[in-house]
Amino acid sequence: MPFVTCLCGKQLDGADAEALNDAFWSHTETAHPDVKVSDAKRADVKAAILRTGGWNGKPAELAEPVEIRPLARATRDDYLRFFDGAFPDNPVWASCYCLSYHLQPTPGEIFDERPAAQNRAERAEMIDRGEASGVMAYSGGRVVGWCNASPRTVLPVLDQFPEFAAHDPDTSAAIVCFVIAPQYRGQGLARRLLDGACDMFRERGFTTMYGYPPKQASTAAGSYHGKLSMYLDAGFEETGAATSRYAVVRKSLA
């Protein structure tokens, strides 16, 4: 039976998409009564659930070789198509389109309340202007995973945290998000994307790559920055800076 997952980690199942939507909001109202949800956000979450129908929980083997490609204008539609259906198990994040880290924090503006259509359109425009960066994993002609790896100077949200400061921001890049299609998780795609991101920025002349993995993640969604063990296995080192929730890792690309 298909299911969706609350950010608290609770799995909620239903016979069809409408039942999944009902189960999701029944759980939210019962288990999280203090969470205030706007009508617009509620509509976006419902649209995501109806669009994907939830996830059946069945893993799938990658049938074709994996190719890592940089995001570019020519692959914009592939990117948008992937994100249109990237969160069958986690509909709360379906409206982001991996835009949030690129926006200047604005007092009084809550990113989670921005409409999905607005985020999708702004992200498409960024790609068309050549201002979006990252790598995608392709298999069988379609995108199965994504890594947001961007120049450190275009990730203003990170500047809110002194611990995330880069000593060489003009020549540094940072990884802020991995999204793997749920049926293909656990097959090494995140590591392939991590290596591909480092290769891409090395070729572009950057000298350092940063990452911000959680110290502990209670849910799979909580590991969207990537796991600390993966970074360490890939040659990253902890910098000694950290927040209560996140470690800071760094790798030389020289």
3-state secondary structure 143-207: EEEEEEEEEHHHCHHHHHCHHHCCCCHHHEEEEEEEEECHHHCCCCHHHHHHHHHHHHHHHCCCC
H-type helices in 85-223, by residue range? 116-128, 189-203
Phi-psi region of 149 (alpha: psi -120 to 50; beta: other; left: phi over 0): beta
pLDDT of residue 218: 75
User: Residue 8 pLDDT more than 70?
Assistant: yes
pLDDT of residue 219: 79
The token pair at 75 is 């692959």
Give, for 251, the enclosing helix (H) or strand (E). Answer: strand 247-252
pLDDT of residue 174: 98
Give, for 129, the enclosing helix (H) or strand (E). Answer: none
Interatomic CA distance for residues 125 and 118, integer angstroms: 11
- Give φ, ψ of 29 to 5 degrees: -70, -30
CATH numbers and ranges of domains, the chain: 59-252 (3.40.630.30)
Q: If 0-12 CB within 10 Å is exposed, 13-18 middle and 19+ buried, where does residue 32 land?
A: middle
Q: List, for residues 17-27, the tens digit of each pLDDT value.
A: 999 999 999 99
- Closest to 1 in 3D by CA, of 18, 14, 19: 14
- Closest to 17 in 3D by CA, of 38, 57, 46: 46
Q: List, for residues 98-136, the tens digit of each pLDDT value.
A: 999 999 876 545 677 789 999 999 999 999 999 999 999
* Local confidence band at 2 (pLDDT 50, 70, 90 cut-offs): very high
Q: What is the average per-residue pLDDT within 40-59?
A: 95
The token pair at 227 is 């796991």
